[in-house]
């Protein structure tokens, strides 16, 4: 292969500078007796760096700065690190993870930017902690990359200074940056400080201030009202607290999104792709400025991916940049990518980066003159998008994901139509999705609607994924950067011949086909394949619809059932008509029916807004009915109609719960007389009680508010407390979104023929959804007689 | 004289033959050499009013009814529920006529204390509309509102009386019936099953008694002893009417004709029926239309008096109507199951009931030797759809979902499940206050199925839901040819095939 920039770079070695820092011996000797303080050891590069020091540099002492994570202290976290597979040899040599820590590693607990005092015997500081995400909130990006870096360096200088502030020794500060600090520049990027005139202190101050600004803005009445409306649209039926919780969640999301946006826009307004590279670039400026009196080197890796050779080919921790895209492609979910087919994907294997860092640690740059090293492949061994696409595609053709019952996924063929066209495709899809979603919201509840909604949600998930990754990588996928890596190349060539097999980091030594198809892809797909296999074996679905024969909770558990739509196919309007119409004369029946029909739209609106309001409106119509007569009528005439609408599966499930010793509870907004035929199934029936006047006639009001939405959850909690019930072992069955709070308080919630909103909630909470059907033998319009 | 039933040998001139399959009918061409058992045409009907008068006033083995009535006595009239006949009789129901005749004699005798009880046994409670249909509008209006026209309640311990023990079975019966000075039991005979006191017992017995009588290992002698005890302890006047073979509702009456006798008009009706059932694709709607149709059944004999004698008389007449003599057992029997069964009136026929109707009621109707040889195969036409009435058949839902997924073996069902179904409080509640069949109902039906097919090899359902057939322990095929292919492994390539051309009901008599 021959391409102009590559050829140009490959054959153009940098002008040899006599004063360039170099290596004059083996690394183990050069770094012997030195203490290397490193940050980010729990991360990807840091972990391998530690491994390499422990394995290849026996006389070097690593000191690690580790922050607390919840209850785990620094030492606990380090034990977790050295327990990993790659440390096996070191661990065994030392006699266990604790012994390894005690004998070889200095652990310092501390955080960035709140760095504690550092020991005075440090010789080298390697700062490889940082955000891996490209789109952190702006304040977080500045805190980590600018403020944190500055704090670390100041502590380092303080540790190497006497009390009066004069340096007693000159430490070597090795800063791990990124090649993409070059930002939106184009063409060849030399290994030196980027030229710009940005006042990093002012930028940092402004960036950090954004948090308070946006936080305040999120609390304005206008913003809160807008968020509440959004939350209400989705959760109104579930009640105020659910809505409130969702509003707050939305506010936090909004703040985060705005902070991210603020970061991205600020970065772009100054010529960087995103806030990550922008703050990293400012971090380099900090390094040069604060480190004016010490030795400073800046290592700028490009896209760090799995190892080429060490600790073993394909070693990788967690998912980095390209993995989600590779996996999505393998699953057939990445139909197109807005990349330029000829732009270079600058990937470097992790072990090359680690080797380069250690080699840099062993150099002594001139004080006050920072050295820069690009660890990149694009200049001398370029891999184009077209190339990586071809390799990944052929890898998945040879080793497809097991696609389950439907076979392997079809791999999309990319045409590289350009960013604009992909963007058009995306936004059309998103618009279509939005319309379909709105249409579906009004669709009647049925298995078909649920299936459509499920499909739609899957599409939504895919679109969101694409949108997120495309917007993140859009810039990189079209970058036309070529990172000159002459300094790095010179350094690797300066390695002692004995060090070459261990520490070499010439990124031109491997060929991409081998790396992608035999090292990287197998490595990143392995955990996914394992997971898939596990899921296939276990069955992917969580199950809250447990087999009650094995349940041992006994009387400490409840089984709560909603009525309408869950164990019975009816609604309160229909029930009202059953109960009321038979006692009226035919003309009055017609008049009553007419009135109900006329009010139906109002009722439906009320139902969408608040179920309590709706129930009250319908129950007003019971005014004047004789309660005792109604009860008798239900027992004698209505019972068969009600029972014929009882779902057989539901009835059986209730009795299974009784057989298992659970307390069965019916919670419903239906008026109590209508639940009478079901009383034998339940220990407790919570229903709406119609208030009566002195003559026993219904007033049209209820004796108390109907138990709907959150009041059900509150009632349950109270009941459980009174009766010594373990709600986590209890069961609840309901069909509509308004029952969400009730379902949320029990350990085993089951959505029965749910509406779309509840179905989504059930999917999110990993609740089982079941279909309980009823097949009444008489049609709806036949009045009970 | 009506044409007797006969056995047709299928030859190349035989047209495709009518086979019932759920609520549709189809024409099937049977392999040449098969035999077809045709039922007899209806025997000549009698004049009902005269026959009722004769039965009541000149009964057999008893004084005339009027002689057994006296003022101030307690009279109870019990009668069969809607499970017989199926489809329902075109109004007025013969039972209504008989009951009216009894009531007019009671009124003439000055009896005030009269009660009417529907002898439902473990069947579902009759709705008011059904009671009205059974006893007629006039009687219904006079008795129902006062609570004197009721359903028997086999679980109401306060309203059951203990008659003592017979054949190891404690016999309990409806208290009102036991404590009456006379019990008149009105029974319509549609099959040669035991009548007389046995019907009283199965209609008015206590749940415990009926549970014991329906057990899978009960001795026939115990049943007879229990019935004898009832006959001995209860002053009983039995009235039994034997019905003819006019089982098809009027628009479909041509289906009773032999296929080669269908005229142009019949062909046209067949075409219409086919189109109609094809157009009405909703099973529910089809069932509603067909369920409404009534059959113009006629009585061919009515007898009253001593239950034992009446039973013998009516059984003989019933056999005269239904018995067809067949020479030699077949290797393969073929049966069609129609949409309406005694226990699925106004409801879908669930798989268990369909199996019962085909295997126990139709295949089990014989004089001692079944149609198919031991180890032979039976091919049955029915879709076995999983449609259950939540109102009528809740215990069937559970039986199908819980028991049959576990076992189809009667002894195991008896040991592990029978008690639960008998005592499940929810089933008892639904039986007593709603319109559900008792929890034991599906269990007993399953025992009857198991007994009927005990000696059969394969049972293959044509056009049936495969999963449901499998759950019942059977196999499914899509066509008759496939079914024959399936059974060929056990009966060979050239089996002797006999098709039981029902309905109307045929009692097979092997000679």
A583-622 residues labelled b (16+ CB within 10 A) or e (exposed): eeeeeebeebeeebeeeeeebeebbeebbbebbbbbbebb
Answer whether residue A737 shows pLDDT above 50: yes
Between CA A482 and CA A485, with CA A483 as vertex, the angle to 5 degrees is 135
Please give the DSSP secondary-structure letter assigned to residue A444. Answer: P
Cβ atoms of A749 and A583 within 8 Å: the answer is: no
Mutate to test the interface with A, among B127, B287, B391 (most CBs of A within 10 A): B391
B278 or A748, which is more confident: A748
Taking phi over 0 as left and psi of -120 to 50 as alpha, with beta for the rest, A394 belongs to alpha
Hey, is A491 helix, strand or coil?
Answer: helix
Choose the closest CB to A644 out of B128, B391, B433.
Answer: B391
pLDDT at residue B1, as a whole number: 57
Least confident of A293-297, A669-673, A747-751, B373-377: A669-673
Kindly report which listed range (A210-224, A244-258, A667-681, B196-210) carries the lowest average pLDDT score: A667-681
What percent of chain A lies above the pLDDT cut of 90? 12
Q: What is the pLDDT of residue A2?
A: 39
Chain A (427-466) residues lying within 8 Å, Cβ to Cβ, of chain B? none
CA atoms within 13 A on the CB side of B469: 20
Intra-chain end-to-end CA distance of chain A, in Å: 88
Count the domains in chain A: 1
If you search the block for the tokens 């025992």, which residue do you land on? B447
| Alpha carbon distances (Å) from B52 to A101, B92, B321 | 107, 14, 20
Mean pLDDT of A235-255: 87
Q: In angstroms, how far is CA A431 from the centroid of its own chain?
A: 24
User: CB–CB of B61/B306 below 8 Å?
Assistant: yes
Output the pLDDT for position A778: 56
Lowest mean pLDDT among A171-180, A369-378, A591-600: A591-600
B89 backbone dihedrals φ, ψ, rounded to 5°: -70, 140
Most confident of A9-18, A559-568, A630-639, B99-108: B99-108
Q: What span, in angstroms and rounded, lies between the C-alpha atoms of A661 and A658?
A: 5
Separation CA A692–CA A181 (nearest Å):
77
Distance from CA of A549 to the nearest CA of B (A): 12
The neighbour count for residue A541, using CB atoms within 10 Å, is 11
DSSP A156-172: HHHHTB-TTS-BSS--E
Distance, in Å, from the CA atom of B12 to the CA atom of B53, rounded to the nearest integer, reads 51
Tens digit of pLDDT for each residue in A286-328? 998 888 889 999 999 988 888 888 888 888 887 666 778 888 8
CATH code, domain carrying A600: 3.40.50.1000
Question: Which residue in the block uniquely carries the two structure tokens 């607290």?
Answer: A241
Burial (CB < 10 A; 0-12, 13-18, 19+), residue A70, is exposed
A549 in reach of chain B (CB within 8 A): no
Residue of A642, A648, A771 best to disrupt the B interface, most CBs of B under 10 A: A648
Task: State the DSSP H helix or E strand holding residue A126, giving kind and residue range, or none if neither.
Answer: strand A124-127
**Between chains, do A635 and B402 touch, taking CB under 8 Å as contact?**
no
Q: What CA–CA distance (Å, rounded) separates B365 from B249?
A: 23
Q: Residue B391 is nearest to which of A647, A777, A785, comparing CB atoms?
A: A777
Per-residue pLDDT band at A206 (split at 50, 70, 90):
very high
Torsion angle of the four alpha carbons B132, B134, B140, B145, in this order, in degrees rounded to the nearest 10: -70
Cα–Cα separations (whole angstroms), residue A480 to A39, A124, A379: 31, 34, 11
Pair of tokens at residue A532:
């898939």
Residues of A in contact with B347 (CB under 8 A): 777
pLDDT at residue A9 tops 60: no
And the tokens for A52? 């390499």
Q: Residue A782: what pLDDT? A: 57
Provide the token pair at B353: 């009931």
Cα separation of B213 and B194, whole Å? 13
Q: Residue B312: which pLDDT band, with cuts at 50, 70 and 90? A: very high
Q: Give B218's pLDDT tier (boundaries 50, 70, 90).
A: confident
Is B433 close to A646, i.e. CB distance below 8 A? Answer: no
Counting every residue written for chain B, the total comes to: 511
pLDDT score of B132 more than 60:
yes
Which of A266-270, A292-296, B113-117, B281-285 has the lowest average pLDDT? Answer: B281-285
The conformation of residue A419, written as its DSSP 8-state character, comes to: H
Q: Which structure tokens are listed for A360?
A: 């840099």
Cis peptide before A37 (omega within 30 of 0): no
How many angstroms from the chain centroid is the CA of residue A366? 44
Is residue B404 less than 8 Å (CB to CB) from chain A?
no
Comparing CA positions, the residue from B87, B85, B2 lying closest to residue B40 is: B2
Q: How far is CA A88 from CA A61, A64, A83, A526, B188, in A?
A: 18, 19, 7, 21, 89
pLDDT of residue B339: 83
Identify the residue among A774, A777, A781, A784 best suited for mutation to test binding to B, counting B beta carbons within 10 A and taking the highest.
Answer: A777
Q: Which residues pair with B498 in a beta bridge?
A: B35, B333
| B224-240 pLDDT per residue, tens | 999 999 999 999 999 99
A775 neighbourhood in chain B, CB within 8 Å: 284, 348, 387-390
In a domain, A461, yes or no: no
Beta-carbon contacts of B344 under 8 Å, excluding residues fewer than 6 positions away, are: B350, B353, B389, B392, B393
Domain assignment present for residue A43? The answer is no
**ipTM, 2 decimals?**
0.81
Enter the DSSP assignment of B136.
-
**For residue range A40-70, what is the model confidence (pLDDT) as tens digits?**
888 888 889 999 998 888 888 899 998 888 8
| For chain A, percent of residues with pLDDT exceeding 70 | 94
B409 sits in the region (left: phi over 0; alpha: psi -120 to 50; else beta) called: beta
Residues B317-337, mean pLDDT to the nearest whole number? 92
Q: A621 pLDDT exceeds 90?
A: no
- The C-alpha atoms of residue A703 and residue A181 are separated, in whole angstroms, by 69
Each residue's pLDDT tens digit, B139-149: 999 999 899 99
Which residues of chain A make contact with B394, given a CB cutoff of 8 A? 648, 651
Domain that holds residue A558: 548-770
Angle subtended at Cα A678 by Cα A674 and Cα A681, rounded to the nearest 5 degrees: 155
Residue B45: pLDDT band (50, 70, 90) is very high
A647 in a domain, yes or no?
Answer: yes
User: The tokens of A104 are what?
Assistant: 């070889």
Q: What is the pLDDT of residue A236?
A: 76
Spell out the alpha helix ranges (H) of A541-585: 572-580
Q: Is residue A652 part of a domain?
A: yes
Q: Find the mean pLDDT for residues A116-124.
A: 88
**What pLDDT score does A101 carry?**
84
Token digits for B125?
């409670």
Q: With CB atoms and an 8 Å threshold, state whether B426 touches A777.
A: no
> For residue A566, what are its two tokens?
């869950």
pLDDT surpassing 90 at residue A241 = no
Q: Which of residues 675-704 of A touch B (CB under 8 A)?
A: 677, 680-681
Please check the confidence at residue A237 and state whether its pLDDT lies above 80. Answer: no
Burial class from Cβ neighbours inside 10 Å (0-12, 13-18, 19+) for residue A690 reads buried
What's the pTM value of the predicted model, to 2 decimals? 0.74
Nearest to B468 by CA among B458, B476, B460: B476
Phi then psi for residue B303, to 5 deg, are -130, 150
Rounded Cα gap, residues A619 and A68, in angstroms: 58
The mean pLDDT of B36-56, rounded to a whole number, is 92
Q: What is the per-residue pLDDT for A544?
A: 77
Q: What is the count of residue pairs from A and B with beta carbons less than 8 Å apart? A: 58
Taken in order of first residue, the domains within chain B and their CATH numbers are: 6-33+327-510 (3.90.226.30), 48-243 (3.40.50.11440)
Of the partner residues A640, A652, A785, the one whose CB lies closest to the CB of residue B391: A640
Under 8 Å between Cβ of A644 and A681: no
Provide the pLDDT confidence category of residue A783 given band limits of 50, 70 and 90.
low
């Amino acid at each position: 292969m021959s391409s102009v920039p590559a050829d140009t770079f490959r054959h153009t070695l940098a002008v040899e500078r006599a004063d360039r820092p170099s290596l004059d011996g083996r690394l183990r000797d050069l770094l012997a007796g030195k203490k290397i303080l490193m940050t980010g050891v729990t991360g990807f590069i840091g972990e391998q760096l530690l491994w390499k020091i422990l394995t290849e540099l026996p006389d070097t002492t690593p000191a690690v700065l580790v922050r607390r994570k919840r209850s785990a202290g620094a030492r606990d976290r380090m034990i977790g690190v050295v327990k990993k597979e790659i440390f096996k040899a070191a661990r065994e040599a030392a006699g266990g993870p604790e012994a390894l820590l005690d004998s070889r590693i200095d652990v310092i607990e501390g955080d960035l930017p709140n760095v504690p005092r550092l020991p005075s015997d440090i010789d080298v500081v390697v700062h490889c902690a940082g955000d891996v995400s490209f789109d952190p909130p702006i304040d977080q990006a500045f805190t980590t990359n600018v403020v944190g870096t500055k704090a670390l360096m100041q502590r380092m200088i303080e540790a190497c200074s006497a009390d009066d502030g004069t340096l007693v020794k000159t430490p070597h500060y090795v800063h791990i940056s990124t090649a993409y600090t070059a930002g939106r520049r184009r063409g060849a990027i030399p290994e030196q400080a980027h030229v710009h005139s940005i006042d990093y202190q002012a930028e940092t101050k402004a960036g950090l201030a954004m948090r308070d600004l946006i936080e305040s803005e999120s609390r304005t009445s206008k913003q809160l009202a807008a968020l509440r409306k959004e939350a209400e649209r989705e959760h109104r039926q579930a009640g105020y607290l659910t809505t409130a919780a969702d509003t707050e969640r939305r506010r936090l999301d909004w703040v985060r999104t705005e902070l991210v946006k603020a970061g991205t826009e600020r970065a772009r307004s100054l010529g960087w792709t995103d806030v990550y590279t922008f703050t990293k670039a400012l971090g380099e400026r900090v390094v040069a400025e604060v480190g004016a009196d010490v030795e400073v080197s800046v290592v700028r890796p490009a896209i760090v991916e799995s190892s080429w050779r060490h600790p073993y080919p394909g070693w990788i921790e967690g998912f980095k940049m390209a993995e989600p895209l590779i996996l999505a492609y393998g699953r057939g979910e990445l139909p197109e990518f807005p990349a330029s087919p000829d732009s270079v994907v600058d990937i470097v294997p992790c072990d090359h980066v680690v080797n380069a860092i250690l080699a840099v640690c062993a150099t002594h740059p001139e004080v006050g003159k920072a050295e820069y090293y690009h660890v990149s492949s694009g200049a001398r061994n370029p891999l184009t998008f077209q190339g990586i696409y071809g390799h990944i595609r052929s890898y998945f053709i040879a080793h497809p994901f097991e696609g389950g019952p439907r076979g392997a996924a079809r791999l999309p063929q990319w045409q590289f139509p350009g960013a604009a066209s992909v963007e058009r495709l995306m936004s059309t899809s998103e618009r279509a999705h939005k319309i379909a979603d709105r249409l579906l919201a009004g669709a009647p509840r049925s298995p078909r609607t649920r299936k459509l909604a499920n499909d739609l949600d899957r599409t939504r998930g895919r679109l969101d994924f694409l949108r997120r990754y495309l917007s993140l990588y859009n810039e990189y996928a079209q970058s036309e950067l070529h990172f000159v890596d002459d300094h790095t190349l010179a350094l690797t060539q300066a390695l002692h011949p004995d060090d070459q097999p261990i520490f070499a980091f010439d990124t031109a030594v491997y060929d991409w086909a081998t790396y992608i198809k035999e090292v990287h892809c197998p490595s990143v797909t392995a955990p996914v394949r394992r997971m898939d296999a596990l899921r296939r074996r276990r069955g992917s679905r969580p199950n809250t619809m447990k087999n009650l024969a094995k349940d041992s909770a006994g009387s400490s558990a409840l089984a709560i059932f909603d009525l309408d739509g869950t164990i019975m196919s009816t609604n309160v309007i229909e029930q009202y008509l059953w109960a009321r119409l038979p006692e009226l004369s035919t003309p009055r029946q017609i008049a009553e029916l007419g009135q109900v029909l006329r009010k139906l739209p109002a009722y439906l609106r009320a139902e969408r807004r608040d179920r309590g309001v709706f129930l009250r409106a319908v129950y007003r119509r019971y005014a004047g009915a004789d309660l005792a007569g109604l009860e008798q009528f239900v027992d004698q005439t209505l019972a068969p109609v009600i029972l014929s609408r009882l779902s057989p599966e539901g009835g059986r499930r209730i009795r299974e719960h009784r057989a298992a010793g659970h307390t069965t509870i019916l919670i419903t907004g239906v008026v109590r007389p209508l639940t009478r035929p079901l009383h034998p199934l339940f220990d407790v029936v919570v229903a709406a009680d119609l208030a009566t006047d002195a003559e026993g006639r219904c007033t049209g009001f209820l004796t108390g508010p109907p138990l709907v939405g959150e009041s059900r959850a509150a009632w349950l909690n109270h009941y459980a407390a009174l009766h010594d019930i373990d709600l986590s072992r209890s069961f609840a069955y309901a069909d509509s979104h308004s029952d969400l709070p009730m379902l949320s308080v029990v350990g085993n919630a089951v959505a029965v023929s749910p509406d779309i909103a509840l179905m989504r909630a059930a999917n999110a909470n990993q609740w089982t959804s079941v279909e309980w059907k009823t097949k009444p033998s008489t049609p709806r319009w036949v009045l009970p007689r | 004289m009506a044409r007797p039933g006969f056995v047709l040998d299928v030859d190349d001139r035989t047209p495709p033959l009518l086979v019932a399959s759920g609520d549709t009918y189809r024409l099937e061409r049977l392999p040449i050499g098969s035999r077809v058992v045709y039922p007899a045409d209806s025997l000549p009907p009698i004049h009902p009013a005269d026959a009722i008068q004769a039965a009541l006033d000149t009964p057999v083995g008893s004084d005339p009814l009027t002689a057994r009535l006296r003022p101030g006595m307690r009279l109870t009239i019990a009668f069969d529920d809607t499970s017989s006949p199926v489809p329902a009789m075109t109004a007025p129901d013969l039972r209504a006529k008989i009951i009216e005749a009894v009531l007019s004699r009671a009124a003439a005798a000055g009896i005030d204390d009269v009660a009417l009880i529907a002898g439902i046994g473990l069947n579902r409670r009759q709705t008011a509309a059904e009671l009205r249909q059974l006893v007629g509008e006039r009687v219904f209006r006079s008795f129902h509102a006062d609570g004197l026209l009721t359903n028997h309640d086999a679980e109401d311990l306060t309203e059951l009386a203990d008659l003592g023990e017979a054949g190891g079975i404690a016999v309990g019966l409806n208290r009102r019936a036991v404590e009456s000075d006379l019990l008149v039991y009105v029974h319509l005979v549609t099959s040669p099953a035991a009548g007389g006191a046995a019907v009283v017992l199965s209609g008015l017995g206590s749940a415990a008694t009926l549970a014991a009588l329906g057990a899978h290992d009960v001795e026939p002698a115990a049943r007879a002893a229990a019935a004898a005890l009832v006959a001995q302890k209860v002053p009983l006047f039995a009235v039994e009417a034997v019905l003819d073979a006019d089982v098809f509702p009027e628009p479909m009456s041509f289906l009773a004709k032999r296929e080669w006798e269908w005229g142009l008009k019949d062909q046209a009706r067949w075409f219409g029926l086919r189109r109609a059932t094809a157009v009405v694709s909703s099973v529910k709607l089809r069932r509603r239309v067909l369920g409404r149709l009534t059959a113009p059944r006629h009585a061919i004999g009515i007898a009253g008096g001593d239950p034992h004698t009446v039973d013998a008389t009516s059984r003989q007449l019933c056999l005269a109507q239904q018995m067809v003599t067949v020479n030699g057992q077949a290797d393969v029997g073929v049966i069609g199951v129609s949409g309406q069964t005694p226990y699925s009136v106004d409801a879908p026929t669930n798989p268990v009931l369909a199996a019962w109707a085909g295997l126990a009621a139709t295949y089990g109707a014989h004089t001692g030797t079944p149609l198919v040889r031991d180890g032979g195969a039976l091919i049955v036409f029915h879709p076995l759809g999983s449609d259950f009435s939540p109102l009528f058949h809740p215990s069937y839902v559970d039986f199908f979902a819980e028991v049959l997924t576990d076992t189809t073996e009667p002894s195991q069902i008896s040991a592990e499940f029978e008690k639960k179904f008998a005592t499940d409080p929810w089933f008892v509640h639904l039986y007593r206050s709603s319109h559900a069949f008792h929890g034991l109902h599906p269990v007993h039906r399953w025992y009857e199925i198991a007994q009927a097919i005990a000696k059969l090899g394969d049972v293959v359902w044509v056009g049936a839901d495969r999963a449901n057939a499998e759950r019942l322990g059977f196999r499914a095929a899509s066509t008759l040819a496939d079914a024959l292919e399936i059974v060929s492994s056990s009966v060979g390539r050239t089996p002797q095939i006999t098709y039981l051309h029902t309905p109307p009901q045929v009692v097979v008599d092997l000679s």
